Amino acid sequence: MSRFRSLHLRPLPALLLGGLTVGTLDILDAIIFFGVRGVSAERILQSIAAGLLGREAFDGGMVTAALGLLLHFFIAFTVVGVFLLASGRIPALRRNWVVVGLAYGGVIYATMNLVVLPLTHDAPAYDAFVEECFPAEAMTDPQAFFDAVGDQAIFDANLATMMDSCGRFIDFARIDVIPTSQHDFSHFG
């Protein structure tokens, strides 16, 4: 069984390598995830700039897209910098870096969705985020969503089961459903 090797880098090279790696992989994830759903890379980057500028960012073309990319990498370098500072003071973070890194990723995800996005300029209010992994067809085909393509009886039964389950903890009179992963692009045009 192979083991992960830890690189022993000085702080500045570690920050540069970590920030560039985190920022690049994260923005590529967003561009690919939303790109296959028809959202351009420019629009994704403008949505990041919209955190600072509001909806006007979507009228700024490549200038606001570049600002979004700059802000994205600022956040990535900040995330890496915080981890480097903490791991310099808490040796256990360095010894168990794979597990700690995965947990830290979860903390960053929650922080972005529960703190940063709600504080975003002109952002819509969210009470909850629910992420699911479905085939792309599920976005437009209810039977695909309920794993019942071509079978109305299974579709009806699965729909009734889900609605009954959700009705136990969701007030359907007060919920907005937004079919995205992390960001709502639909109201931007």
Q: pLDDT (tens digit, 9 = 90+) per residue, 16-72? A: 999 999 999 999 988 888 887 778 899 999 988 988 888 888 899 999 999 999 999
Average pLDDT score, the chain: 79
What ranges do the domains of the chain cover?
A: 11-123, 125-189
User: Which DSSP string corresponds to the chain?
Assistant: ---PPPP---HHHHHHHHHHHHHHHHHHHHHHHHHTTT--HHHHHHHHHHHHHGGGGGGSHHHHHHHHHHHHHHHHHHHHHHHHHHHHH-HHHHHTHHHHHHHHHHHHHHHIIIIIHHHSTTPPP-S--------GGGGT-HHHHTT-TT-HHHHHHHHHHHHHHHHTT--GGG-----SSS---GGG-
Choose between 35 and 184: higher pLDDT. Answer: 35
What pLDDT is stored for residue 175 in this prediction? Answer: 58
Q: How far apart are CA 151 and CA 171, in angstroms?
A: 29
pLDDT of residue 100: 86
> What is the per-residue pLDDT for 66?
97
